[in-house]
Structure 1
Amino acid sequence: MDRRDGCSTEPLSFERIPEMEDKWRKEITAMTVELQDKRKSIQNDEILRGVHPKSHGCLDAEFTVNCDISAELQVGLFAHPGKCFQAKIRYSNADVLKRADLEKGHDPTGARLLKHGSRGMAIKVLDVGEPVLLDDGCAQNQDFLMVNSPEFAFRNVRDYRRLTQALCASADGADPLLFFLPGELLKRGMMDMSGNLLPAPANEPQQNARLRALFETNSDFFAEFAEEDMQGVISAAAVVGEIQATPVRNPLFAPYFSAAPFRFGNDRVMRFSVVPINSDAMASQADISAFENFGDDYLSQALALSVADNDPIKLSFRVQVAQSEDIKNDIDGMIENAARAWDEDQFTHTEVAQVTINPQCQPTELVDTCKPLLFTPWHAVADFEPLGGINRLRKPVYSTSAAFRRSV
């Protein structure tokens, strides 16, 4: 409930849904289950989550609404100043396979190259005491799903459909090469924005010739490729590049962002984020001197050491709130493009709650506690309704993926 006044109004419409999106969502949902089954043979014969299968730990926590929260922010869960909820937190890698936390290799010059992955944090606030849009079994829980980037790599359902098709076309169901191939060809001057290959020059470099052959071999995959798809590839490559250059030494002390938008009462929209209250802890993430020696599971090891300490870990839960006037002329950008961050100067981060993680036993032993759980943004009170194409897609994909995982 929005506590700014005593009356209730009909929620404003903030979305613009493409004509083909319902069809695309159904296709992606079916392909996601196909991919889960395909990856089974290379994941110890286990059906994993469609995304974020590798967990670094499952923690018990407390989610406490600030006592001094301003009246204008007392919406939904935050309409109860001082109230403390119990919560579960799952930290994870966004990779579709359970692989090493850090990709180590060399660039074309032979220099050592470290590529970081996308990290996830999912908070399940338990027993919120009011109806939610999608029941969590028999419980009324509120989920907050985040990644360690203010933007998603993929803008919308159209982009995510092409990604999922590329994964299905790969041998292991986990290689997005075909999605990013047009962007690489464009960068090398071999393709135009509409996806048309340009004539090969005499004495074309061997690497370029191999990429050209790969594109031509998969011509059916690119039959419907258009300039809008190239824009999606360019956008995704930029976000992925930022993620790969962002070090995370300890998942507990990284910042996390919803990236996608959510309703904030009837006439406003929010994005939310989590940061450590100890700013020194977040600053230490940038110290990359030791990454070369980190093992495949260094994130779960770092997390385990931190929660075994005697001191509780405090995190700040913040919201960015946009008014309807801010959104109405930019629905495509602010609502339907999850790969575009909101301007932090215009939409400032304001703390509304704190998360406390008290010392507890080894979280690696608690991974199984979160294993059967479904985390979805649609476990939400009505005031926090998920908005935008990526959130609309998550509703059928996450539920169907979880049902398949539990049924096998």
Structure 2
Amino acid sequence: MAQASNSSSTSPNFERIPDEEDAWRNEIAALTVKLQEKRKSLQNGEVLRGVHPKSHGCLDAEFVVNSDVPENLQVGLFAHPGRRYSAKIRYSNADVLKRADIEKKKSNGTKVMNHGSRGMAIKVLHVDEDTLLADGEMQNQDFLMVNTPEFAFRNVRDYRRLTAALVASEDGATPDLFFLPGVMLKMGMMDMSGNLVPASASDTEQMIGLRTTFTQLHEVFADYSAADLQGVITASKVVEKIRKTATRSPHEATYFSAAPFQFGAGRVMRYSVAPMDSGLSDAEFTQDQMADLHEDYLAQALEVTLCSKTQIKLIFRVQVATADDIAGNEQEMIENAALPWDETKFPFVEVAQLVIQRQMERNMVDACKPLLFTPWHSLADHKPLGGINRLRKPVYSASADFRRSSGQSTL
């Protein structure tokens, strides 16, 4: 059963919160800190962000609201056409460890590569209005994105299983246990209800081992259900898409909020940042290019661009849905972060630009290290919605507090 969330009298209640979710969020926040401690030895004794620990660059930018924003989109940060704000941009890998930007493998004698999820965080400074969560002593608006229009994990229930799987892994950074039921499904060992198929005399040693893991690892697989298996199937499809999504330079990718946000009273948005130059290449690397890629190639590519170009411009755009669009579709449009909105029904509309001037500093990678990015640094008009955003509030806070208590300064 799901409980209704609190909402103002001027805005419909878009969220559908499971009764168990509050306990799940607290559990995940505590386990996130446990994982940060566990990964410390793998990161030169340093406590880093629970997710997105590897930065490709921290850039000074200007967030410029378009002068021709349609009147019906003049909401919140976009209510003042032509206004210019100072901003910070952080590009990162959406991973849990500092690892090589790309995984190179060999298959049938040919080199192949698995790409990772990429992140972009924008901090719009001094918005001059109260925010839902203060950013130190400042009122800033944060926008957090990844380079696919969907998250790999739909909701808090799925993320709880993932977190338990990470805790159970030897290094605290390997999610294989989360995906184990999907492997068993393909092998005919599990049905679509999430139940094990009875063992047979023809089971291989590998199958016996997988069955033992599933039945004995209660902290990960207790009370497994069809809903949990569907989460694995969904996540597997998104991960496969991520692995095939090439990124040649951080600023050349298109990024998406995936999760939804309030857009004033009675409307909801998802947002995105795209290159202004639509001719930039997202094609796969050739075999020769692949051989030359450094493990930090994204930071290198960004530095080359910023030192050579006078200016980079990016487009900030929004998809907007009304209460009528969402009515009856709350589970799909609000609570499922792994399901993109149909762009033919909800087209992206440009409302602002990001302008990045030439930057020659050599500390671009670490300059954002002290900053805390969270979607809850937000104007009320852009309140975060949905389970993944509700989860971010306690998890990001617990992660930042632990970094701070470990001597890693955060603002």
Please give the range of the TM-score, normalised by the shorter of the 2 chains.
over 0.9
Residue 288 of structure 1: CA displacement?
Answer: 1.6
Distance (whole Å) between structure 2 residues aligned to residue 208 and residue 106 of structure 1: 26
1:50 aligns with 2:50: yes
AA aligned to 2:295 is D
Q: Which residue of 1 aligns with 2:4?
A: none
TM-score normalized by the length of structure 2: 0.93
Structure-to-structure mapping, 1:5-404, within 5 angstroms: 10-107=10-107, 111-205=110-204, 207-218=206-217, 221-281=220-280, 284-289=281-286, 290-362=289-361, 365-404=363-402
Distance (whole Å) between structure 1 residues aligned to residue 302 and residue 219 of structure 2: 45
Residue 326 of structure 1: CA displacement?
Answer: 0.4
Residue 201 of structure 1: CA displacement?
Answer: 4.3
Distance (whole Å) between structure 1 residues aligned to residue 220 and residue 149 of structure 2: 30
Distance (whole Å) between structure 2 residues aligned to residue 30 and residue 245 of structure 1: 33
Distance (whole Å) between structure 2 residues aligned to residue 237 and residue 9 of structure 1: 40
**Structure 1: any 5+ residue segments left out of the alignment?**
1-7
**CA RMSD of superposed structures (Å):** 1.6
Residues 55, 366 of structure 2: 8 Å contact kept: no
Distance (whole Å) between structure 2 residues aligned to residue 72 and residue 370 of structure 1: 34
In the TM superposition, what whole-angstrom CA distance separates every residue of 1:256-314 from its partner, at most 9, and x where no partner exists? Answer: 00000000001100000000000111xx1214212343111000000000111132001
Distance (whole Å) between structure 2 residues aligned to residue 392 and residue 220 of structure 1: 23
**SS at structure 2 position matched to 1:341:** coil
Q: Which residue of 2 aligns with 1:4?
A: none
Residues 190, 197 of structure 2: 8 Å contact kept: yes
**Structure 2: any 5+ residue segments left out of the alignment?**
1-7, 407-411
TM-score normalized by the length of structure 1: 0.94
Residues 250, 285 of structure 1: 8 Å contact kept: no
Residue 9 of structure 1: CA displacement?
Answer: 6.6
Identical-pair percentage: 62
AA aligned to 2:116 is G
Residue 111 of structure 1: CA displacement?
Answer: 4.7
Residue 214 of structure 1: CA displacement?
Answer: 3.5
Distance (whole Å) between structure 2 residues aligned to residue 366 and residue 112 of structure 1: 31
Distance (whole Å) between structure 2 residues aligned to residue 308 and residue 162 of structure 1: 43
Residue 216 of structure 1: CA displacement?
Answer: 4.1
**SS at structure 2 position matched to 1:193:** coil
AA aligned to 1:366 is M
Residue 70 of structure 1: CA displacement?
Answer: 0.8
Q: Quickly say closer, same or farther: Cα 1:338–1:278, change in 2 above 3 A.
A: same
Q: Which residue of 2 aligns with 1:3?
A: none
Residues 299, 365 of structure 2: 8 Å contact kept: no
AA aligned to 2:63 is F
Distance (whole Å) between structure 2 residues aligned to residue 233 and residue 322 of structure 1: 28
Distance (whole Å) between structure 1 residues aligned to residue 318 and residue 168 of structure 2: 39
AA aligned to 1:10 is T
Shifted more, 270-279 versus 188-197: the winner is 188-197
In the TM superposition, what whole-angstrom CA distance separates every residue of 1:226-258 from its partner, at most 9, and x where no partner exists? Answer: 111001111111111100111101011100000
Distance (whole Å) between structure 2 residues aligned to residue 219 and residue 129 of structure 1: 49
Shifted more, 121-130 versus 214-223: the winner is 214-223
AA aligned to 2:345 is Q
AA aligned to 1:371 is K
AA aligned to 2:61 is A
Distance (whole Å) between structure 2 residues aligned to residue 195 and residue 9 of structure 1: 41
Residue 110 of structure 1: CA displacement?
Answer: 5.7
AA aligned to 1:365 is N
**SS at structure 2 position matched to 1:17:** strand
In the TM superposition, what whole-angstrom CA distance separates every residue of 1:46-89 from its partner, at most 9, and x where no partner exists? Answer: 00100000000100000000001110000000001001100000
Residue 193 of structure 1: CA displacement?
Answer: 1.9
Q: How many residues align?
A: 397
Residue 197 of structure 1: CA displacement?
Answer: 2.3
Distance (whole Å) between structure 2 residues aligned to residue 47 and residue 99 of structure 1: 15
Residues 9, 266 of structure 1: 8 Å contact kept: no
Distance (whole Å) between structure 1 residues aligned to residue 308 and residue 207 of structure 2: 53
Q: Quickly say closer, same or farther: Cα 1:106–1:224, change in 2 above 3 A.
A: farther
Distance (whole Å) between structure 2 residues aligned to residue 227 and residue 313 of structure 1: 47
Residue 206 of structure 1: CA displacement?
Answer: 5.2
Residue 192 of structure 1: CA displacement?
Answer: 1.0
